[in-house]
Structure formats: C-alpha cells, structure tokens
Homo-oligomer: A and B are copies of this chain.
C-alpha cells in the first residue's frame, strides 16, 4: 500500500477584550527550529483525528470541553521539508483567561499574538493555514453563535459587541446591536452587575446554549 504521514494542526483563538489573539509556539525542533508555528502533532495509526487535535490542545492549555472544528486539509507534496506530510487543520475557541499556556516538549515558548499584528515567517505553510482559519472564523461567527466560546460564561453586551467588532473589523451601533442580539432570546440577563468600575455598572448576561440547540433542531438559523 502507498504510505504517507499525516498530522493535525490546531489554530487556537482567544479574545483579550480588545483583539482576537492566536496561540503560537516557538518550535523546539528541526525543521524550522526557533520559528513560530501553529501547534500540532503527528497522528498515530490507531488514533482518530479529533482526539489527536484535542490532545494537542490539552497539552498546551490544560483545557477540555473546548469548541473545536475541522478547518481544512493541507496536502501539498512539498509543504514539509522532511517528506510528504498531509496535515488536517482544526481551529479552537477558548476563554483566554482560563489558560496559562505552558511550554511542552515540542514548544519552547508559547504565546498569544493579536490578529492585527501577526508575526511574519511562520513555519511550514502555517501562514496559509492561519489565514484560512481567520477567514472561517469571520464567516462562521455570523451564522452560528460561536462567539460565546471566546467569552467568559457571564459577559456584558459591550464585551460581546466588542468581540464581534474585533472579529469582523467593523464598528457596530450600540443600540442596534443590543436590540438585535436580545431579539434572538438566546441571551439571558443575570442578576449580577459589574463591580468596581468607574462608570455605571453593566449587567452580565449568559448565552442559553440549550435553547439554541433546541431551536436549531427546529430549523432556526442564527444570524448577526
């Protein structure tokens, strides 16, 4: 049988309240040693793709139960200098605050980089992968309520709006945004408000995931 090697790579997005950021590692091995790269790993013959991606995620962030979705498969013959390695790329959305990224065997340093100021010269074809992931995030966030995966479970409507503004790179009207997002009934107010802020305290809201799942099954399509 014709044999090849394959790997997974996982683009990890977070939101710092201002910008979308992506987690990149400094490679600890050749090839591209010391260059920045999207975290990834080879896949074992007895290992499914998704679990392999989750295990990379967990080793870097310690998190389980993370939103993750397959992005695209990159298979150019010469994309890897050591031979034919096809990579299945995933992207994940995490609450940036619940993570202290820890270096691991394959990652010397690991850090968040804002999308609007990305470092040049990523290893392999990782710039292409990253661009594809950004494009997908932009499209997806408009038709599925995945933005919440980037926020704490309780968030203010301003945080949510700023998240959309950061992803889509547009300005949104405060009142119109509020009306539109509340009209979905997927966002529930809590009794809590911000504390120790030098202005009127904003109310915290939560995303009603169960309601969305149910509506979704009945044909409802989220749109922002």
Task: Name the residue on B nearest A221 (C-beta).
Answer: B139
Interface size for A (C-beta < 8 A) is 24
Stretch among A2-10, A107-115, A155-163 lining the B interface: A2-10
**A60 interface residue (CB < 8 Å to B):** no
Stretch among A27-35, A83-91, A92-100, A178-186 lining the B interface: A83-91
Contacts of A43 in B (CB 8 A): 2, 4, 75
**A2 in contact with B42 (CB, 8 Å):** yes
Return 26 A-B CB contacts under 8 Å, by A number: A1-B5, A1-B42, A2-B5, A2-B6, A2-B42, A2-B45, A3-B3, A3-B4, A3-B45, A4-B5, A4-B6, A4-B45, A6-B6, A6-B75, A43-B75, A45-B77, A45-B84, A46-B84, A47-B77, A48-B75, A48-B76, A48-B77, A49-B75, A73-B88, A75-B88, A86-B86
